[in-house]
Chain A
Amino acid sequence: MKIDISKFGTTLISRPAGREAYLSARAYSIPKEGDEPIELDFSKINVLTPSWADEFVSGLKNDFGSARIKVIEGDNLSVKTTFETLNASAVA
């Protein structure tokens, strides 16, 4: 299944907002049953920060497992730079 992240807004900045979006996605957007891959589509996002993305993506990975979560970054530079930063810190 694919989640269009722009449904949570297109300027995604703060940790509290990322946490709230994660809780909402967990409750309403992801089926309780099944193990199909979950695609997070950021391609319509204008502004993304590591704070928001960390709360949202890490929360879902903790709940559903990293293997099920796939991020579609799109072309926005703040999205790409956010995930480069998070991925670099995960490797470090």
Chain B
Amino acid sequence: MKALEWVIAQEGIEKPSQFYCETRDIAQARVEKMRPDFIIHKWSDDESGLLAAMAGEMAGNCFDHNLGNWPNVPGCWFEYEISDTLFRMVIADRGRGVLTTLRRVRPDLKDDHEALRVAFTEVVTGRAPEQRGNGLKFVIRSLGLLRGLQSFLFVSGDAALMLEGKVDIADVPRYIAGADTAVSGTYVELSVRKNI
């Protein structure tokens, strides 16, 4: 089973243990395991630190915004591969998605596209009045530093942010379009080539 199949499937689906993290503790332990894997494959401290931090932020989001409110299956899918030349990661959840989360504080948001634009460009969080909302801005800032970025896909609802190759992160809204496959939670895919 692939992450996208898991995230769009109806209830009663298989939960593959090698990727499924029912709780935050499991997801965090897997993020912490990334660093020794990067060292084995001789990735630089800068690249490995940044990629692990991005993974930590995005896996944390799955729990931060859905804890106690999972529509059906709790937790996240967390999958990564590291080789001597490539890094690939998929993080997905069957939560409420960006639009539902942000509408708690921005009821004027009209659709998934606008919700993604706000999530990636404004410091706003569904957990206001807590001072949060920096995670996805950090992810975007980090993507701009990765010279080996191949692709970044973030889907929520029927909107998708798709970045390929070296992109101008200051112009993120331009890269938001309709998703090939809509998901009710979130689905993230990242691919990076090692910068030797």
- Contact between A89 and B137, CB atoms less than 8 A apart: yes
- Contact between B31 and A50, CB atoms less than 8 A apart: no
- Contact between A54 and B56, CB atoms less than 8 A apart: no
The number of chain A residues with a CB under 8 A from chain B is 26
From A16, which residue of chain B is reached at the shortest CB distance?
Answer: B24
- Contact between B53 and A78, CB atoms less than 8 A apart: yes
State which of A20-28, A32-40, A41-49 sits at the interface with chain B: A41-49
Q: Which of the residues A13, A78, A85 comes within 8 Å of B134, measured between beta carbons?
A: A85
From B122, which residue of chain A is reached at the shortest CB distance?
Answer: A92
Chain A interface, DSSP helix/strand/loop, else mixed: helix
| Residue B158 is within 8 A (CB to CB) of chain A in the complex | no
- Contact between A81 and B24, CB atoms less than 8 A apart: no
The number of chain B residues with a CB under 8 A from chain A is 28
| Residue A86 is within 8 A (CB to CB) of chain B in the complex | yes
| Residue B145 is within 8 A (CB to CB) of chain A in the complex | yes
| Residue B82 is within 8 A (CB to CB) of chain A in the complex | no
Name the 9 nearest CB pairs between A and B, nearest first. Answer: A13-B56, A78-B49, A77-B46, A78-B53, A50-B134, A89-B123, A85-B138, A47-B52, A49-B56
20 additional A-B pairs beyond A46-B52, A76-B45, A77-B145, beta carbons within 8 Å, are: A11-B32, A11-B35, A13-B56, A46-B45, A47-B49, A47-B56, A49-B135, A49-B138, A50-B134, A51-B64, A51-B135, A54-B131, A58-B131, A78-B49, A78-B52, A79-B49, A81-B53, A81-B145, A88-B137, A89-B133
Q: Could you list 18 examples of A-B contacts with CB < 8 Å?
A: A11-B32, A13-B31, A13-B53, A14-B60, A17-B28, A46-B52, A47-B52, A49-B56, A49-B57, A50-B135, A50-B138, A51-B60, A58-B131, A77-B45, A81-B138, A81-B145, A85-B138, A89-B137
